[in-house]
Structure 1
């Protein structure tokens, strides 16, 4: 029996011009089902309708896959990127990135315990061995740094940079997913950080502004 949202997901992936590994679409649909099921008890996301979750969460995150792949290649880590997703919530975009890029090591960090627990459950059920979830404040994390740090509607750019600076590897970059970038936010970016690109995104089925703000420590 086919999944009720399989066709819509396939259309969205085609519209994005995205190539995914074998089995990824089934994993994404299983992830959608897990969010919907857990959401009834744990309030992981304000979006309740699975069809809206597909567009506003899955396709919204899938829209960043190709840009992040291109930047990973530029960093010399096309197939072995270490990525930290901050304020990951229900695993967006971290889980989607782990499904789309099985060679990447993806760590999701969130201050809410139930959300980290959910991401661990997703990783276990979908066999995402390279996915980790950490219940912690990002500024207190230790261990090896990350070549790329992502966030999705997490905080202002200046807070994102300040909280995660200690986790960024030399030569690495930040990718902030945002609805839009205000001039005030742009002006508040520290002078020792370079905003080297603001990449506009089009999300299939979503009539709303989206972008990735790319940043790195200034030379």
Structure 2
């Protein structure tokens, strides 16, 4: 099982929707989130607002709550990953940069590999990465099927593929210690319930940013392959 480090966060009263102020306060409470990290995230937010006028990176309506809907929604994965993890963080189908760019901004000394095959998204990710000064982050501009296999410490994917297909495509990057972090929205519990044959230690965590959404968290038992 994964031991999740405790992170001091504000409690969201009742069913109230967290605010942008709450989101920034939550980020500042993350271990290792200093002024430099917040500055990097601010650069990302400003660039995202501008780029979204040229290409539809995210829903325009979501920009009204960008710190909550995109930054914290990505950063909430970090408490599940011990800081001593040294193998690369692999983010599949990074798209607009979530969670890859946010993870890299908050852990700039960790190698973050962002897989994205769409040309305009690749160009955007490169520009954002450079502007944010993320020297250890790398954009892999290929389809996942063509990416060379290597062991990774974390595998994340936000709206990349259904769980069964995602595992089939990416289990070759996993060891028995690899932490999988898969935001799945409202389908999280159902996708996990429907998963067959894979030997895993997965569970669903409720999202901090959406009471109806879940994040699949865990490991593949024994690493690659299916049980017979």
**Which of the five TM-score ranges fits, normalised by the shorter chain?**
0.7 to 0.9
Counterparts of 1:195 and 1:108 in 2: how far apart (Å)?
Answer: 25
Counterparts of 1:90 and 1:61 in 2: how far apart (Å)?
Answer: 12
Ranges in structure 2 where 5+ consecutive residues have no aligned partner: 1-18, 223-228
Counterparts of 1:95 and 1:118 in 2: how far apart (Å)?
Answer: 11
Which structure dedicates a bigger proportion of its chain to strand? 1
Spell out structure 1 runs of 4+ moving beyond 4 A: none
1:190 Cα deviation (Å)?
3.7
Change over 3 Å in CA distance of 1:162–1:124 after alignment to 2:
same
How do 1:96-107 and structure 2 match up within 5 A?
Answer: 96-107=102-113
Which structure dedicates a bigger proportion of its chain to helix? 1
1:44 Cα deviation (Å)?
1.5
1:218 Cα deviation (Å)?
2.3
Deviates more, 1:82-91 or 1:161-170: 161-170
Change over 3 Å in CA distance of 1:14–1:49 after alignment to 2:
closer
1:58 Cα deviation (Å)?
1.2
Question: Is contact 2:41–2:105 with CA below 8 Å preserved after alignment?
Answer: yes
What is the aligned counterpart of 2:23 among 12, 36, 50? Answer: 12
What is the aligned counterpart of 2:125 among 110, 119, 138? Answer: 119
Question: Is contact 1:195–1:213 with CA below 8 Å preserved after alignment?
Answer: no
1:150 maps to 156
Q: Report whether the alignment pairs 1:44 with 2:30.
A: no
TM-score (norm 2): 0.78
2:95 maps to 89
1:210 maps to 213
Q: Report whether the alignment pairs 1:191 with 2:188.
A: no
Change over 3 Å in CA distance of 1:215–1:161 after alignment to 2:
farther
Ranges in structure 1 where 5+ consecutive residues have no aligned partner: 1-7
